[in-house]
Amino acid sequence: MKEERRMQKQERRPTIMTLEEVARFLRLNKSTIYRMAREGTLPAWKLGNVWRFKKEAIEDWIVNSQRAHEKKLHGKS
């Protein structure tokens, strides 16, 4: 029972990713992820001198980017 509660708590916490993990996840170069984070294209924040990313925010960004791209291709506004 105690273990089950602990697992439920962990599931509610956002998964925080490093720049390297996001680069692997998106299959992009680390410098591309760094540039996108710095420009605000990719949802991220700086913690001290390092960039951090919420996995859920990255997944939402992917979905929204896909939708925007599809609308652009089909000429919808």
Tokens representing residue 74 in the block: 């089909």
Task: Please answer whether residues 72 and 64 qualify as being in contact, where contact means their C-beta atoms are separated by less than 8 angstroms.
Answer: no
CA atoms within 13 A on the CB side of 16: 8
In the CATH hierarchy, which top-level class contains the domain 2-73?
mainly alpha
48 pLDDT above the threshold of 80: yes
CB under 8 A, 24+ apart: contacts of 57-64:
58/17, 58/22, 58/25, 58/26, 62/26
In this predicted model, what pLDDT tens digit does every residue of 7-37 receive, in sequence order?
655 567 779 999 999 999 999 999 999 999 9
pTM of the model: 0.76
